[in-house]
Amino acid sequence: MIEDRFAARLGWITPAVTIALSSLIHTLSGDKRAFPFFISEADYPGLQRVVFTVGFTLAGLILMYVSWRLFQVNKDRGRWYWMHLSMLCGIFVGANLVLMAFMDMYDHLDLHIITALNVFHFSLAWGVLTHLGMKEGNQKGKNLRYMSIALGFIAFFGMTYAMGLGIEAHPEFLDSKNNMNIIQPWINWAAPLEYLLAISFMLTLGSFESDMNSDDEEE
C-alpha cells in the first residue's frame, strides 16, 4: 500500500510535471499556435500529447485514491457530512481528469470543455469542502488552503471574465471551428490565469499532505 503522504505529494507533483513538460514540448516543437496558450493546447499530436494523456490519466487515478484516503483518515475526527461530500468531489475531479486526458480539444471539443469545466468547478469545491470538514486539521495546511482557494477563485473568475469579453467582442468565434487566433488578445490574459488556477489547485493538494496522518501518526 502506498504511504498516504507520499500519495498526496504525487497528487500535485504529477499534474505539475505533466503541465510543465507538455507545455514545454509544445513550445519547443514549434507546434504552438500563439503564446501564451491554454494548457489543453499542448494536447497536440506528437510527443506532447503522449505526455499530456499519460500524465493526466495517472494524475486522475492518483487524485481519486487521495480523495478516498483523505476521507478514510479524517472521517472520525472531522465533520463527517463535509468529508463525505469532499470525497465525492475528489473522485469526480479525478474521473473527469482521466476523461479530459483522452478528450482533446482538437477532435472532441465539446466533451473536452465539459470535462475541463468539471475539473475546474469541482476542484474548487473539493478544496472548500475538505477545509470545512477538517475541524481539527493541521494549521499549516489550513493556512495554505486559505491562500490557495482564494487564489483559485480569483483566477477562475478572471479567466472566465477575459474569455467572456473576447467572445462578446468577436461572437463569430463561436462559429469559427475553434480558431482561437480571433480572440488571442483576451487569451493573453485568460491563459496565464488558467495556469494560475492550476497552481492554486496544486497548492490545495499540497495542503492535504499534512492532514494525511492517522491519529497515531500525528507529529
pLDDT of residue 195: 97
pLDDT of 4: 84
Write down the residue that cell numbers 463525505 correspond to: 84
Angstrom distance (rounded) from CA 53 to CA 196: 21
Sign of CA dihedral 101, 104, 110, 112: positive
Rounded to the nearest 10 degrees, what angle do helices 47-74 and 109-133 cross at? 30
Q: Please determine, for residue 24, whether its predicted confidence score (pLDDT) is greater than 90.
A: yes
Domain ranges of the chain: 4-217
Does residue 196 register a pLDDT over 50? yes
Residue 173, pLDDT > 90, answer: no
The predicted structure's pLDDT at residue 217: 46
What is the pLDDT at residue 218?
Answer: 43
pLDDT of residue 1: 54
CA 112 to CA 103: how far, in whole Å?
5
Q: Within a 10 A sphere around the Cβ of 195, how many other Cβ atoms?
A: 17
**pLDDT digits 0-9 by tens, 74-102:** 888 778 788 899 999 999 999 999 999 99
At residue 124, the pLDDT reads: 94
**Packing angle between helix 184-208 and helix 47-74, nearest 10 degrees?**
40
Q: Report yes or no: 23 and 63 within 8 Å, Cβ to Cβ.
A: no
Arithmetic mean of pLDDT, 1-23: 90
pLDDT more than 90, % of the chain: 69
Residue in the block written with cell 504529477: 14
> Euclidean distance between the first and final Cα of the chain, in Å?
21
Alpha-carbon span 19 to 49, nearest angstrom: 11
